Amino acid sequence: MSYDLIVIGGGPAGYVGAIRAAQLGKHVALIERERPGGTCLHWGCIPTKSLLRSAELYQQIQHADAFGIQVGNIKVDFSKVIQRSRGIAERLTKGIEFLFKKHKIEHITGTGTVTAPGHVSFQPVYGAVQTLSAKHILLATGAKPRLLPLLPVDGACVLTSREAMVLPEAPRSIVIIGAGAIGVEFAYFFNAFGSQVTLVEILPQILPQEDEEIAVELAKQFSRSGIRILTETRLEQAHVSDVGVKLGLSGKTSETIETEKVLLAIGLEANLAEAIGSDLKLDLDGGYVKTDARYQTSIPGLFAAGDVSGPPWLAHVASYEAIQAVEGMFANRTPHKATIFPSCIYCQPQVASVGLNEKKARELKKNYRVGKFPFFSLGKALAAGDNSGFVKILFGEPGGEILGAHIIGAEATELISEVNLGMTLSATRDHIISTLHAHPTLAEALAEAAAASVGEAIHL
């Protein structure tokens, strides 16, 4: 059973890489122990966005009176909120399975292990172990939630994101350990549906990878919504009982908290347990697979893409890397690494960024200007009743090149694409200013922020 490419893992790196190879006329097999789509489709990006949309709509209805709309008693069927998210994941999964058939990709359900260069041992769900061979193997096994030995996951009181998104009802109280993207999204979701939420972060700010001003603004918005935020605080003790969890915290805040649920959102680790045979030496970097400029690992013919090779743990970066790796294998093209990519967080208000934040710009000794524009000065934002937050863009001097952008507010995750495209095309501040932005739109804030960096904003 020989192939041009064997892909291990069916997430955003694996299935996209398999499809691209098939488009290039290659005979492809993909091994995935579950249905295709990976964590992103089944337990991450897609179902969480469905959950967050339900939370957002619920909050909007609660404030309908401000728009002149009277509503009666609002009821939430939490089970339907969960069912809708699972239904969307199922629909998209069927779409990927259709694409596999369309492109004649052999989809194998089971566990794949690289046993030697060019060879994969395959353990099907039923039956004996088989051996597959290919000149090229793409490792795309992704990552899994990082756990705390102090607080073992039991699926009842102590959760990862996987268990959190299928709870039968919103908990009365929940402590979320870790205030990165996953932590803040779930904090917003559970708070919207009435849970008492405490967000614990060991570093000085929530969203540690984001610009400081963005993190401060989100913390203000969360606090107004009733979310308790504890930064520079670590978990020291934990006791799980039949009714909840007692946590001992220390640091900037030292206290004992009792809560019904705890959600661990402290990052990810590479999913490698069964992917590499014990006889193989695979070079790692901080626990993640180390690759060269062509995405090849230390094992000849074995390539890796996506979360298994480390941060930024973004589905769109994983897909990009897989395409680059496959085109380097089969299309005689020089692969590229992802250097300009957006980060998007879908709580309310939304957060999105690309490029350098101010802290990083200072570390790199960049000479830069900042342009900021608040949404409360924008007609579209006021008309939509969602005018919190701002746009912040960093421009290099003296040329005005775009170094980075940071947005917090309505549709931030959509707005960031304009700046991302601009950076990819080496656009400057003048290009943004001279581009006609439709009125009234939220995108006008980008042009106003660019103009503000040189004191030329019209509505500020």
Compute CA distances 167 → 78, 171, 190, whole Å: 9, 8, 11
**For the residues of 30-65, what is the DSSP string, one character each?**
EEESSSTTHHHHHHSHHHHHHHHHHHHHHHHHHTGG
- Report the alpha-carbon distance of residue 297 to residue 299 in Å, rounded: 5
Give residues with Cβ within 8 angstroms of 365, minimum separation 6. none
Buried b (16+ CB within 10 A) or exposed e, 346-377: bbbbbbbbbbbbbeebeeeebebbbbbbbbeb
Q: Which residues pair with 370 in a beta bridge?
A: 394
**Structure tokens belonging to residue 183:** 């932590």
User: Three-class SS of residue 356?
Assistant: coil
Task: For tokens 């404030």, name the residue.
Answer: 63
User: Three-class SS of residue 14?
Assistant: helix
Beta carbons within 10 angstroms of residue 285's beta carbon: 11
The residues assigned a catalytic role are 439
Q: Cβ distance 356 to 370 under 8 Å?
A: no
Give residues with Cβ within 8 angstroms of 25, minimum separation 6. none
Q: Cβ distance 266 to 177 under 8 Å?
A: yes
How many residues belong to the chain?
460
- Report the alpha-carbon distance of residue 212 to residue 290 in Å, rounded: 30
Give residues with Cβ within 8 angstroms of 83, minimum separation 6. none
**Pairing label, strands 2-8, 130-139:** parallel
Question: What DSSP state is assigned to residue 188?
Answer: H
**Structure tokens belonging to residue 135:** 């000149």
Q: Cβ distance 290 to 171 under 8 Å?
A: no
Q: Cβ distance 176 to 263 under 8 Å?
A: yes
Question: What DSSP state is assigned to residue 454?
Answer: T
Q: Choose among 132, 106, 136, 109: nearest CA to 119.
A: 132
Give residues with Cβ within 8 angstroms of 372, minimum separation 6. 390, 391, 392, 393, 449, 452
